[in-house]
Structure 1
Amino acid sequence: MSKYIIPLLCLLVPVINGNEEWHKFNKPVRSVAVIGAGPAGLQAAATLLKHDFDRVRMFERREGPGGVWFYQEDKPIREPYPDLPIEKAAFEPDIQDAGTVKYYEEGDHNLSLDERWREHNRPSPAWNNLHTNTPRQLTGLPDVKWPEDSKWIVSVHDIQRQVRAYASFHGINAADEPWTDNSEQVASYNTRVESLTKHGEGWKLQLRKLEKVADSKRLKASWWSEEFDAVVVASGGFDAPHVPSIKGLKEWSKVQDEEGHHPVWHAQAYRRPDLVKDKTVLLVGASVSAMGISNDIGPHVAKLFVSVRPGNRTALFKRRSYDRIYPGAEHVGDIAEFQLFELNGSIREGNIALTNGTILSGIDEVILATGYRHANSYLGLLVNGTILGNEDPEVDVKPVITEGKMSQFRNVDWRGFYIDDPTLAFTTVRPWTVGQYQALAFAKVWEGTARLPAIEQQWKEYPGHGKSFFSRSFGGVQAEAAFRKYITWLNNESLVHGGRLVDYYPEEWREEFVYYASSAVGYWEAGIFSKQNFTDADQTPENEWQSDPPSEIFWSKFIDNEEDY
């Protein structure tokens, strides 16, 4: 075992007075559903299949595995202007009686077959030239190694192939047959979860599958339901594009040319620079997608403006994206208003007023790189748009998603379990690095080889809404503490109840990451990362493994609390 683990094995063995120190499930967990086949969902399903469960099923609305990394030339259905309530932001659930089958033809209910297909499977927001912003060693799934001569930074297409290989290795790819003649197929693709509700001691999923009918210009929709003892929610947070509330934007969004193209659109629909070639473009936002898209379109457009909200960008991640905006772009201020004008199929005659008094005109395209909202509309009462930000009113069902720019799930413990009912779990960690540990945690807790503290104790450990122990990057005190905390807990439980012991990632990853982050390859900043960072993390005592690191720990250089688009 690693030298980093052995000294920690005694730290987290709980000693709690009384007989109720551990959570007790009302009945054994024998069946588990996984919602989503991205990197996190695939690892959850693959790990559960290795453990002693009677039934494991995985549901994915797209045609294949990959989640946000499942690249498609198809574009998502156009975003609403303004944002819809969070309960309906991802999609409006279509719930029918189990056994219902419908066939759709072109134009039914004023929808083309293409629109109906894209509404169901929602193509991911990945673009053709998207590349990772972390090295390949930290951006891959276990069991499928990158070739030794792979580039440091890999493309969305490389990731997609690696994810498909992992899915095939574990028998959960789109074309894989059931494991035995007497078992059902684990993976159900083209299948959208319409609702997830508590049903007795377990959970009921209402499901809808959409298929293209062979040799026919029709689509077939089928509805059914399945019940499970436990559920893993792994459907990610890129399911609802965010449209900022700016005066006049709704009116501008209605402009449409003769070919049906809207010159105001969200970055979720960006694929290639061809659409904006030789045009004057206003890109709104300065975060990761804005950085990537600006560099992709910059060499091809006539002029690129980037609208950036004022704010504190001393933190590394915001500074990193901001500093990597296409160097030929002209930075302009925050937008005050899209001024009204006669709509005639183009926005070139319109004026855009900035908060500093400047007027922009002659813009051909406006791309909103303004981020995404957690929605997961199938979660029902677990999504509550009446609660804003850190508000915490008394409600019958504690929500996991509320309105506001908070990306973390609420009321979920650091392991990923919904505190009030740990038969429901959420993938809350970076899948490439911590995902395999979280997947193992789900399997061990539900099979009975790892324990959860009593619910009262879990609430005591809960850091508060909007705070996440695992929200920091590889190489920082918190990220390393996350590894320690997970691994130590898992190994303690395995020593008591059986099961394999787990180790850290290979130590050479540290050296590789330091080189990557300190070189031009990584586009980070020289001197920010060193092996000393990891040494400092190794020497940080358990009582400093907290959600808000003290200012003297170097990680404070990386974060701030300012809002961005």
Structure 2
Amino acid sequence: MAFDSVLSSKHVCVVGAGPTGLVSARELLREGHSVVVLEQNHDLGGQWLYQAASATATVHSSVYASLRLNAPRIYMEFTDFMFTPVEGRDTRNFPGHRELFLYLKDFARCFGLTELIRLNTEVVHVGMAAETGKWIVRSRDRRTDDGEFMEEIFDAVVIATGHFSLPRLPKIRGMEEWKRKQLHSHVYRVPEPFQDEVVVVVGGSLSGSEIALELVHVAKEVHISTKHSEIPQKFVKPVAKYAHLLWHQQIELLCEDGTVLFADGSSVVADTILYCTGYSYSFPFLDTKGVIHVDENRIGPLYEHTFPPSLAPSLSFVGIPNKFIIFRFFESQGRWIAQVLSGKRKLPSADEMMKAIEEVERHQELEEPKNFIQVIAELLEVMASLQVSNNS
């Protein structure tokens, strides 16, 4: 769907009031658009709004109590609103999660975003009205069990719901028969509930290693299971330091009696298995009649991680890359979307965008899998190109 080339104001719905939604709303406002931000929780912040959780809880945030930023402040700030230390708050260069939440609150107040946000509003349907090309957005008031439904029409929708809320679980033989506790790190908050337990932590990523090293102070034993055939370098020193912290290869079988059998032949009878195995993309409210395909690890087709060619520019996504969080990249996406919607910038044709997407996919299939640094470098290159174009 194409908009008129003349500069114009659009009525835009932003789904989500986390960092990506907030900065997108700010950029849309700057371009003169009318903006409504729909947020399902009682406050803004997205992932950075800490929520108590249990094994049966339904929560959005995956942040645990002790979590600190794994990137310095400079990578978690927007270009014209510095994440500088505030007296009386957490002034560390790698502060705790609440400090970033407070930064987002400050950002929203500074740019007049707070009054645009409808809290406790769950989006249940986003679909295009074929006859008008506009978007129908249905939402529900979450403050009551029989919450009132509302239907609204928008010129454009920006999806900014994040992708760290739907736990991805591995497929392990015996998983359904294993009757003891099985949890995902999505609902992990503090180590105390695991006091004197034998815990198996599945996954050696950032969350897996941090949580394992936290549990080691309360649990009877902590067993880390990863796909590596040799102990990962980051676990060498901790495993040597703590006699009750042990490393294993991936799980081969879960037995009804509580036994966990690993691929290296070792086994342990465990009380709890804690899966630190990542998250899947999920947009259950989005109906594009099959135009956009969503699976666990990928959503597409998206041009430059942002626009689905046949629905651009009236539908867009912010914050899809899942290997890192750099706020200025999200800001560049939001600015690009806002300027395309106003007519200040133009996208290539749908065919040209699809060809570009197919070319990227072809190279990805031919090349060796990229490491973390390569992914960051490529996305920073995209961010730089957007910044140059935005300023031109």
Quickly name the TM-score band, shorter chain normalised.
0.7 to 0.9
How far does residue 320 in structure 1 lie from its aligned partner after superposition? 7.8
Determine the structure 2 residue equivalent to 1:25: 3
How far does residue 415 in structure 1 lie from its aligned partner after superposition? 5.9
For 1:488 and 1:311, locate their aligned partners in 2 and report how far apart those are by CA, in whole Å.
45
- 1:216-267 deviation per Cα after TM superposition (whole angstroms, max 9, x unaligned): xxx4511111111111101011131112111121122x54xxxxxxx22111
Determine the structure 1 residue equivalent to 2:63: 126
For 1:432 and 1:46, locate their aligned partners in 2 and report how far apart those are by CA, in whole Å.
13
* RMSD after superposition: 2.9
Select 2:317's aligned residue among 411, 426, 430.
Answer: 426
Q: What is the SS of the residue equivalent to 1:433?
A: helix
Residues 46, 60 of structure 2: 8 Å contact kept: no
Determine the structure 1 residue equivalent to 2:81: 143
How far does residue 400 in structure 1 lie from its aligned partner after superposition? 3.8
Residues 63, 189 of structure 1: 8 Å contact kept: yes
Determine the structure 1 residue equivalent to 2:196: 278
Determine the structure 2 residue equivalent to 1:110: none
Instruction: Report matched runs for 1:356-435 at 5 Å.
Output: 356-361=264-269, 363-381=270-288, 397-402=290-295, 404=296, 406=297, 408-414=298-304, 416-422=306-312, 423-427=314-318, 428=320, 430-435=325-330
Instruction: Report matched runs for 1:60-79 at 5 Å.
Output: 60-75=39-54, 78=56
The amino acid that maps onto 2:117 is A
Identity %: 21
Q: What is the SS of the residue equivalent to 1:305?
A: strand
Q: What is the SS of the residue equivalent to 1:72?
A: coil
Question: Is 1:450 aligned to 2:325, yes or no?
Answer: no
Determine the structure 2 residue equivalent to 1:196: 126
Q: What is the SS of the residue equivalent to 1:485?
A: helix
Determine the structure 1 residue equivalent to 2:171: 245
How far does residue 440 in structure 1 lie from its aligned partner after superposition? 0.7
Determine the structure 2 residue equivalent to 1:152: 93
Determine the structure 2 residue equivalent to 1:333: 249
Deviates more, 1:371-380 or 1:135-144: 135-144
Determine the structure 2 residue equivalent to 1:206: 138
Select 1:268's aligned residue among 182, 186, 202.
Answer: 186
Select 1:464's aligned residue among 348, 361, 377.
Answer: 361
Select 1:221's aligned residue among 122, 142, 147.
Answer: 147
Instruction: Report matched runs for 1:509-528 at 5 Å.
Output: none
Determine the structure 2 residue equivalent to 1:187: 117
How far does residue 30 in structure 1 lie from its aligned partner after superposition? 1.5
For 1:62 and 1:412, locate their aligned partners in 2 and report how far apart those are by CA, in whole Å.
27
Determine the structure 2 residue equivalent to 1:171: 112
Q: How many residues align?
A: 370
Q: What is the SS of the residue equivalent to 1:487?
A: helix
Q: Residues 232 and 157 (structure 1 numbering): CA distance in 2 closer, same or farther, change over 3 Å?
A: same
How far does residue 474 in structure 1 lie from its aligned partner after superposition? 9.6
The amino acid that maps onto 1:165 is D
Q: Residues 165 and 299 (structure 1 numbering): CA distance in 2 closer, same or farther, change over 3 Å?
A: same
How far does residue 270 in structure 1 lie from its aligned partner after superposition? 0.6
How far does residue 29 in structure 1 lie from its aligned partner after superposition? 5.8
Q: Residues 473 and 57 (structure 1 numbering): CA distance in 2 closer, same or farther, change over 3 Å?
A: farther
Q: Residues 466 and 152 (structure 1 numbering): CA distance in 2 closer, same or farther, change over 3 Å?
A: farther
How far does residue 488 in structure 1 lie from its aligned partner after superposition? 2.3
Residues 68, 238 of structure 1: 8 Å contact kept: yes
Residues 203, 228 of structure 1: 8 Å contact kept: yes
- 1:462-487 deviation per Cα after TM superposition (whole angstroms, max 9, x unaligned): 2128969x996599642442232112
- 1:406-440 deviation per Cα after TM superposition (whole angstroms, max 9, x unaligned): 2x431110161111111100013545121211111
TM-score, normalising length from structure 1?
0.60
Deviates more, 1:422-431 or 1:130-139: 422-431
- 1:473-532 deviation per Cα after TM superposition (whole angstroms, max 9, x unaligned): 59964244223211222233xxxxxxxxxxxxxxxxxxxxxxxxxxxxxxxxxxxxxxxx
Q: Residues 131 and 240 (structure 1 numbering): CA distance in 2 closer, same or farther, change over 3 Å?
A: same
For 1:438 and 1:47, locate their aligned partners in 2 and report how far apart those are by CA, in whole Å.
9
The amino acid that maps onto 1:152 is N
How far does residue 74 in structure 1 lie from its aligned partner after superposition? 3.4
Residues 284, 308 of structure 1: 8 Å contact kept: yes
How far does residue 311 in structure 1 lie from its aligned partner after superposition? 6.2
- 1:302-336 deviation per Cα after TM superposition (whole angstroms, max 9, x unaligned): 211001113699xxxxx686678775321012111
The amino acid that maps onto 1:290 is G
For 2:347 and 2:237, locate their aligned partners in 1 and report how far apart those are by CA, in whole Å.
43
Residues 172, 252 of structure 2: 8 Å contact kept: yes
Residues 76, 83 of structure 2: 8 Å contact kept: no
Question: Is 1:51 aligned to 2:22, yes or no?
Answer: no
Q: Residues 26 and 166 (structure 1 numbering): CA distance in 2 closer, same or farther, change over 3 Å?
A: same
Which sections of structure 1, spanning at least 5 residues, go unmatched?
Answer: 1-22, 79-117, 177-185, 213-218, 256-262, 314-318, 342-349, 383-396, 493-565
Residues 136, 152 of structure 1: 8 Å contact kept: yes
Select 2:382's aligned residue among 469, 482, 501.
Answer: 482
For 2:233 and 2:110, locate their aligned partners in 1 and report how far apart those are by CA, in whole Å.
36
For 2:104 and 2:371, locate their aligned partners in 1 and report how far apart those are by CA, in whole Å.
23
Q: What is the SS of the residue equivalent to 1:377?
A: coil
For 1:151 and 1:412, locate their aligned partners in 2 and report how far apart those are by CA, in whole Å.
37
Q: Residues 72 and 415 (structure 1 numbering): CA distance in 2 closer, same or farther, change over 3 Å?
A: closer
For 2:23 and 2:371, locate their aligned partners in 1 and report how far apart those are by CA, in whole Å.
19
Q: Which has the higher contact order (CA 8 A, sep 6+)?
A: 2
How far does residue 171 in structure 1 lie from its aligned partner after superposition? 2.7
Residues 4, 343 of structure 2: 8 Å contact kept: no
The amino acid that maps onto 1:170 is F
For 2:372 and 2:109, locate their aligned partners in 1 and report how far apart those are by CA, in whole Å.
31
